[in-house]
Every structure is written in C-alpha cells, then in structure tokens.
Amino acid sequence: MGGTAEHAVVIGASIGGLCAARVLSDFYDRVTLCERDALPDRPANRPAVPQGRHVHLLMARGAQEFETHFPGLLDAMVADGVPILENRPDCIHFGAAGHVLGTAHRLQDEFTAYVPSRPQLEWQIRKRVSALDNVEIIHATVTQPRFDRASEQVTGVHLESGSVLDADLVVDATGRGTRLPAWLQQWGYERPREDVVFVGISYTSQRVRVPDGLLREKVIVAGASSTQPLGLGMLFYEDGIWNITTFGVGKAKPPQDYAQMCALADEILPPHVGAALRHGTPLDDVAHHKYPASRWRRYDKLDRLPAGILPFGDAVVSFNPTFGQGMSMTSLQAGHLRRALETPGADVVRETIRATAKTTFPVWTMNAIGDLTMHRATGPAPWWYQPVGALFDQFLGAAETDPVLAEWFLRRFSLLDSLYMVPSARLVARTIRHNMTLWLAQKRAGKRPVTFEAMRETR
C-alpha cells in the first residue's frame, strides 16, 4: 500500500482484532475497534470469549511475534508475575498422542516460553492498543458492513445503535461465529469453501490453588491418543493458581467435576500430579465448553471478493484448541498484514489472505492428520494421512527416549523453527535406528519399560 489512508474499522477487540488494530495504526490516520462486550479494566474473563476460562497455551513463537508487535510486552508480563518456562527438564511434562516428551533433558537456551493466562494476555495487549493516539475502542455491536454495489466495495459498518461508521478498510475479527460468508452471499459473491475436521471436543475446566512445593512443573500436558480419548492440560498462571482443563476428543465425555478430574490425572499423568491435586482447593465453578469442529474458510480460493474487507484471526481459521496454536497463528497473520501494508501498490486484502493461507497450510494439515488418524475425528482424509500418521506415531515413540528427536518435536510444535512438521531423512533414519535399539533392549529386559538412562547404557 505505502502512505496512509484515513480510517480503518476493526470488528471485534479480542486477540485477533487487537493485533490487527496495532498494525493498522501505523498506516491509517484513525483506527476504530468495535467490541460488543463491555471490556474490563483489568485481566478478567468476559462473556463473548468463553474460551478464556479454559487453559490457553502461548507458544514460544507466538510470544516472539507478540513481542515484535508490542515491544516490551514479555518483560511487562513477567513483571506482573507471568511465569517463564525455565530451561529445566522438570518444568514441563508434555504428553503427545500417548508419548511423553520433554522430561529427558534440558532444552536449548533460546527456547523460552511464557505462561500468561488468556485474560492476562488480552488485557496486556488491550492496554497497549488503547494507549495508541490514533486508536479508539468503542463498546458497539456491528450489525453488518455497509456494501456499495456500484463500486463493489465495503465502505463502513452499521452499528446496532443505528449509526454508521465510514471506513476505507473493515477488518472482520469476530471469531469463529463470523457472518462474513453470509454477507458475501447477500452481496452476490460466492461463500468461501470451508475445510472442516469434526473433532468433537468437549472441555471441562477448574481453577485450583495447590499448596506450594507439591508441583515443580509449570506446564503439564497429556494430549489424547488413539487409545485414550481424554486429555488434560494444566498451566500455572500469574495469579499463583492452576487452571486445569480436561477434554474429550471424538465426542468422548470429559470429567464433569473435580473428583473425576483428579481420577483422570491419576490415570494419565505421573502419580505426584493427582496426589498434589487432591491437596488443592478448587475455586469458582467448573466451566464447560464444546468445540465441534476445526474450520478453515478458504478466502484464498475465491476469485472475487469485494474491496475493503479483510477476514482475520479465527474468522479465517479456527485450529483444534487442544494444540494451543490459535493465538500464535493470529500473531503471524498480523505480520502478514504489516508486510502487505508496507508493500507499495500491494492489494493488501488479497496479499494478507494469500500469506495467511501459506502459513496455515502446514499447521492445518498436520493437525488434520493427527486428528483424523489418532483422535477419532471425522472429515475428508486423503489416503496418505494414515501412513503419515503411523510414521509420526513411530517418531514420537522414539522421541520419548531420544532427546534430539524430542527437542526437534517440541521446537516445531512450538512453531519455532518451521511450521512444517516434516523430519529430514537423517531424522527418519535416526528414528528407525532408535526404535530398533529400543526393541532389542526391551527384548533383553523382558519387556520392562525402558528408560532414557537405560537407553544410554544400551548404546
């Protein structure tokens, strides 16, 4: 684009809308964020973001990206008590698809992760966006964008109050419930194709105060697997309280109360976790949430789009929340928007949509393979998903006792080195060698579980 334009309107002031507004503020004279929720002046949950009551994991890459959009954010969060994932093996218990990784050795130095609660992160970002001179956040519900048929352009938004805001660009950051596909149809355009994976996830969460000293970890994750449709994630947040989220995939019913949550912890986590939870004090009510399907709206495949409207954040793609990627992928999208705005003559909407599709593809595909082959999800699955899923299961099995493979996986899972989860031929060979050695060691040990230390002795 280059230069400045007059007014941008962003619909929705959650993580997506705030990131978009931050970027637009450098290119537009004025930015108005319209949010239907009354926004709290402190870190707090709010009705229109019900997912905020459940565990939200900020990936290491997401933290880095947020810092580029909001310099000083990470230090400020740490000053407010947000835990850092220290470079220590006992800081994290990480189980993926039935394999436990991340406890065997120290991760490399640059792997620094932060553990803000969802309300904390949103509040920190909102504070910074509100402080920008040319940004205004207003408490208003948008009923629909204003579309000018003659110029095939969105020229503003209608508010529930009856007033209209003129705009050169409207960003739809209204989340998974976006009505943009219906509006497009109403204006005579095609709806975007939707790629959908029916994951059938139910969440049950509880905040718990656990007495000091019982848990050294700050992040405890046990994902679902092909044999166990229930999972559990626990994060220790800045308020000194654990948020515990249990979930079921493929329509499996998760625990419904705290006693059942503790029983699940006994089943799928090391014994000290369940024991610590039984000493804990549950706070508030148990929160429930259903997430039927991951959905990618393929605006990148549309030949025609009206000018002046950009879909953003979960309104474009909503990833399986148990993988903890949504906020980080939204922060990457903000980078795409910035680069498009910086490019002289670029079609900002088209370019942002194109770049977003490019970064979405590898993450979406890997999630779909995991969900459709291991997590009882349903949806279209190309023939090659099954063999790739089986190979990946082998890889994760080897990563349980091979720190090189474990680190490779954890860095990719954190979206750090690359968004593509494709091991090199060297790593595949290492996996095969490792699994053969493991198999031989198990045979010799008479099927006793083989530990990382035992593996070292075998080599």
DSSP string, 196-264: EEEEEEEEEEEEEE--TTS---SEEEE---SS--EEEEEEE-TTS-EEEEEEESTTPPPP-SHHHHHHH
What is the rounded distance in angstroms from the CA atom of residue 421 to the CA atom of residue 431? 15
Return the residues of window 144-183 that contact ligand FAD according to CB under 6 A: 173-176
Residue 156 beta carbon to ligand FAD: minimum distance, rounded to whole angstroms = 14
Residue 237 beta carbon to ligand FAD: minimum distance, rounded to whole angstroms = 12
Stretch that binds ligand FAD, among 21-29, 100-108, 254-262, 310-318 (CB under 6 A): 310-318
The site map against ligand FAD for 189-208 (x = CB under 6 A) is --------------x-----
Count the Cβ atoms, other than its own, within 10 Å of residue 136.
Answer: 14
Contact pick of 289, 298, 339, 354 for ligand FAD (by CB under 6 A): 289
Cα separation values, 388 from 18, 271, 361, 385, Å: 37, 33, 16, 5
314 binds ligand FAD (CB under 6 A): yes
What is the rounded distance in angstroms from the CA atom of residue 419 to the CA atom of residue 396? 17
In the chain, the amino acid numbered 236 is: F
Question: In the 8-state DSSP scheme, what is residue 310?
Answer: E
Identify which of residues 333 and 431 has a Cβ nearer to ligand FAD in the complex: 333
Stretch that binds ligand FAD, among 181-189, 280-288, 327-335, 431-439 (CB under 6 A): 327-335
Please name the residue ranges forming H helices in 249-343: 258-268, 271-278, 326-342
Contact pick of 321, 335, 389, 403 for ligand FAD (by CB under 6 A): 321
Contact pick of 9, 10, 15, 21 for ligand FAD (by CB under 6 A): 15
CB 311 within 8 Å of CB 207: no
Residue 194 beta carbon to ligand FAD: minimum distance, rounded to whole angstroms = 16
Identify which of residues 123 and 395 has a Cβ nearer to ligand FAD in the complex: 123
Contact pick of 141, 226, 359, 451 for ligand FAD (by CB under 6 A): 141
54 binds ligand FAD (CB under 6 A): yes
Identify which of residues 34 and 427 has a Cβ nearer to ligand FAD in the complex: 34
What is the rounded distance in angstroms from the CA atom of residue 250 to the CA atom of residue 292? 9
Identify which of residues 325 and 431 has a Cβ nearer to ligand FAD in the complex: 325
423 binds ligand FAD (CB under 6 A): no
With b for 16 or more beta-carbon neighbours within 10 A and e for fewer, the 148-176 pattern comes to eeeeeebbbbebeeeeebebbbbbbbbbb
Residue 123 beta carbon to ligand FAD: minimum distance, rounded to whole angstroms = 13
What is the rounded distance in angstroms from the CA atom of residue 221 to the CA atom of residue 94? 5
CB 8 within 8 Å of CB 304: no
Residue 415 beta carbon to ligand FAD: minimum distance, rounded to whole angstroms = 10
Count the Cβ atoms, other than its own, within 10 Å of residue 75.
Answer: 11
What is the rounded distance in angstroms from the CA atom of residue 89 to the CA atom of residue 403? 11
Size of the site for ligand FAD (CB under 6 A): 37
328 binds ligand FAD (CB under 6 A): yes
39 binds ligand FAD (CB under 6 A): no
Residues of the shown chain interacting with ligand FAD in the complex, contacts defined by CB under 6 A: 11-17, 34-37, 48-49, 51, 54-57, 141-142, 173-176, 203, 289, 291, 313-315, 321, 324-328, 330
